[in-house]
Amino acid sequence: MKRAGLFLAIIFVLSAVSVYAQSYTITVTFNQYGTWENGILEFAPLGISAQCYFDGSTPLRRGTTYSAAATRMSRKTDSVTGLRRPGIFLNIPGSQIFIHEGTSLAWSEGCIVIPRDIMMSIWNYIERNGDLDKYVISVVIR
C-alpha cells in the first residue's frame, strides 16, 4: 500500500512539473533598414515567420526581452467573432502593448500587428497547452 501511495505521489509531482514547465519565445526582428514600420515575427514551435507591423509610438526597444502572456484585449474587438480580441500582452509598466491581429500599420497604435491567421495559430497553440493568462512567453526584440 505504501508503494502505491508513493507511486501516485510521484506521478502527481511529475504532472504538476510538466504543466508549469512550458514556455514560448516570439522573436520580432526589425526590417533590414531598421525603421519602425515593419519586421518579421517568428514563432519556432509552429515554424512561423511572418511580416509584422508596428508604428513609431511603440515603446519596444531593440535588444530587449519582454515577459508576456496570451490573453484577451479589454478594449478591442475580434474582427471575426465580435468577442474581445485575442492578443499577446507584453508586460511593460505603464503601457498596453500587445501582439494582435491586423492588416496594416494603421492597426498598430504602438502594438505589433500580424495577420489574423498567424495570430490565431499562435493563440490556439498556447491555449491548447493550457497556458492562457500566464506569463510564460518571452518576446525578443532584435
Question: Partners of 49 in the beta sheet?
Answer: 42
Residue 71 has pLDDT above 60, yes or no: yes
C-alpha 142/C-alpha 59 separation (Å) is 14
pLDDT (tens digit, 9 = 90+) per residue, 1-12? 555 444 433 334
> pTM above the 0.85 mark?
no
Q: Answer whether 111's CB lies under 8 Å from 105's CB.
A: no
C-alpha 13/C-alpha 24 separation (Å) is 22
Locate the domains of the chain by residue range.
Answer: 23-141
Of residues 46 and 62, more confidence is placed in: 46
pLDDT (tens digit, 9 = 90+) per residue, 105-123? 889 988 999 999 999 999 9
Fold of 23-141: L,D-transpeptidase catalytic domain-like (2.40.440)
C-alpha 95/C-alpha 59 separation (Å) is 8
